[in-house]
Amino acid sequence: MPPCRIPAKPPLQRPPLRTLSCLAKLMPWLAPAVAIGFAFATAGCTDGKAKQTAEPPRTVRVEAVQLVPLQSALTLTGTVRARHETPMAFRVPGKIAERRVDAGARVAAGAVLARLEAEDYRLALRAAEADVRAAEAEMERATAQEVRSRDLAAKGHASQAALDQAVTTARAARERLDAANSQREIAANRLAYTDLKAEADGVVMSVAAEPGQVVAEGRAVLTLATGTAREAVVAVPESRLPALGTGEALVTFWAMPGRTVSARLRELSPEADPVTRTFLARFALDAAGDGLPLGITAQVAVTPAPTPQGGPEIAEVASTAVWWRGDQAMVWVADEAKGRLVEREVSIERLGAERAAVRGDLRPGDKVVVLGVHRLDATMPIRISELN
């Protein structure tokens, strides 16, 4: 086999000297031309990119701000309760032997509601009666001694000191008898207190003790509603407290459509509930509400009296216009001249399901954004669309 030979590479050919000389003469002219062309190409790309990233104006729905009086009608929902609800308790401690009523029972005055085991109190009464009999015997002996001492002193057979001793002993015996009689009456009363009786006609609202339970003196075992007077009990938010106490209150009832009863604020709790942070208010119903069923739902509409010159005014906007930055309430105001949004801080005076009353740097006619407020920012261009 013949040996393998690798072909040799052809030698590099250099351009003719004439061509190189021509290129050298054109270089001073080619460099500026290439730079200018590159600049135009770059500018064209930049302008195209800027046109592609320009953000179109976003349409925002707005409504004009309106001013309304600060004082407005207040509607609260509560229940009908008895004007007089008495916690019933035993006046002596003991173990409950029986409870004769349940919640909802109607009772008459003098009816026995519950009873304690009374054996210990019967023994105490028996001991008090024995003390009375002993005091009576002692008084009889001391009285007889006093009579004899007086006779002997009159005849000169007894000294004055002996007479004085007899008189003092008889007086002490009488006082001990009075004390023994008082103790007997107390024991008799404590025995009677083992029966818990209704002091007036009423309805048992709740029970808090069962037979066999040991209760302390004064501990409520049930609640009794007495009388026919009624009142509406509602919970008032702390922001609406200024609306109470003036104007007329009208009460309606879900179970009795068309029936309206006048009421007045009778009692307002001095402190808020620790859980709900609301204040308990009790509105006394007039005579038209006497005898209403207890526990039914009531709506209390309080219309405050108008303040002079209409009172201060606040801005009213849609509830959807309010958004929050932390604990601060905010709204977006559209600036038509600049085509931008401006954020404004506000404080909430009243917030309902559809409308909100706010206080802040808002003037009548300001355009407040009412839809999609959480997806906006102050840098985006806008186009305004007003709600009808």
**Cα 116 to Cα 20: distance, rounded to the nearest angstrom:** 130
Last residue within a domain, chosen from 193, 213, 243: 193
Angle 305-306-312 from CA coordinates, rounded to 5°? 130
**What's the pLDDT tens digit per position in 209-224?**
999 999 999 999 999 9
Res 48: pLDDT: 47
Is residue 154, in this structure, part of any structural domain at all?
A: yes
Is residue 250, in this structure, part of any structural domain at all?
A: no
**Cα 167 to Cα 164: distance, rounded to the nearest angstrom:** 5
**Which residues have a Cβ under 8 Å from the Cβ of 129 and sit 6 or more positions away?**
184, 187
**What's the pLDDT tens digit per position in 44-96?**
454 444 444 557 888 888 888 887 766 556 788 999 999 999 999 999 999 99
Is residue 176, in this structure, part of any structural domain at all?
A: yes
Res 305: pLDDT: 57
Which amino acid is it at 82?
Answer: A
SS3 245: coil
Res 288: pLDDT: 84
Last residue within a domain, chosen from 142, 170, 193: 193
**Cα 89 to Cα 101: distance, rounded to the nearest angstrom:** 14
Say yes or no: 189 and 122 in one domain.
Answer: yes
Strand pairing category for 94-99 and 214-215: antiparallel
Largest CA distance in the chain: 188
Res 50: pLDDT: 45
Is residue 98, in this structure, part of any structural domain at all?
A: no
**Residue at token pair 């355009």:** 367
Residue 208 φ/ψ, nearest 5 degrees: -130, 15
Is residue 182, in this structure, part of any structural domain at all?
A: yes
Would you tell me how many other CB atoms lie within 10 Å of the CB of residue 98?
A: 12
Domain that holds residue 181: 118-193
Res 97: pLDDT: 95
Rounded average pLDDT per 10-residue block, the chain, 388 residues: 52 50 52 53 48 70 80 80 93 95 93 95 96 95 91 87 90 94 96 95 93 94 93 89 74 90 91 91 89 90 62 77 90 87 87 81 88 86 78
CATH number for position 364: 2.40.420.20
Contact 259, 124 (CB under 8 A): no
Is residue 66, in this structure, part of any structural domain at all?
A: yes
Q: Can you say whether the dihedral through the CA atoms of 204, 284, 268, 74 is positive or negative?
A: positive
**Which residues have a Cβ under 8 Å from the Cβ of 61 and sit 6 or more positions away?**
369, 370, 371, 372, 385, 386, 387
**What's the pLDDT tens digit per position in 236-275?**
988 778 777 665 789 999 888 889 999 999 989 999 999 9
Last residue within a domain, chosen from 193, 218, 236: 193
**Residue at token pair 């000191």:** 161
Contact 243, 71 (CB under 8 A): yes
Is residue 14, in this structure, part of any structural domain at all?
A: no
Assigned token pair, 237: 């938010």
Is residue 41, in this structure, part of any structural domain at all?
A: no
Say yes or no: 125 and 64 in one domain.
Answer: no
- When divided into structural domains, the chain yields a total of 2
Say yes or no: 122 and 189 in one domain.
Answer: yes
